[in-house]
Structure 1
């Protein structure tokens, strides 16, 4: 596990998820296909920085998808529309919101409204969302990516 001060460059096509943490100075756990990192920046600040790299803002990207796709709640975020994005497990204004990126996932419902998301690299995360909601959100993200460009399959 590597600690970083706050590098939005780690929010890229290899990102699996972003999760808020509350230990010391770290605010975000960034899980990627190649490791786990901790940032002193909030998840929203990291997502904003990633959107800025592709000439947009977090709010701008979310507004565009809301308008084009009519997804008014838990709107997927296309960071680089032809390449990658993420979906929130709940309203992104909640601190417990986890952002899940466009990689294959397996969802296991633990109890009503609580699930574990498993990633291909063996990492998993507990979230306060039902399997139904998570799979719907995952589908919305991929639909949005397909509409905006190339759908990238990851066979890792």
Structure 2
């Protein structure tokens, strides 16, 4: 098959044009993603700062917006669970902790997370779920060194369930 010189030029020109349009489109789309990421990161930092300052009510307001923007983020759901627990919205906290665990099943190996999850389940009066989590905490040998009273806290929560 013989192609004329002009046909080759048009094919080359078309390929170059296709590549240029693709690169420009990618740059425009990437700029939009960068803006969205920056906005959500600033919002996350603001919520984390409010949480660290103990301003849970205001952090909760911003957290709702962040949960809508990043519903599949482990960090966002975990922080949301902590904030909900501190505003005494225990059922919401339990849901967010469960969602964190669903997103990252390896979180089950995080001793403090599991203790927090168990405590939230107790406070949400989800005793059967709390018992499962707390028994797992009790049977695990990975109590954090920074919290030597870990097993005592687990035992206290289990005793609290038993009296109900």
| TM-score after normalising by structure 2 | 0.30
Larger Rg: 2
| TM-score after normalising by structure 1 | 0.31
Greater strand content: 1
Greater helix content: 2
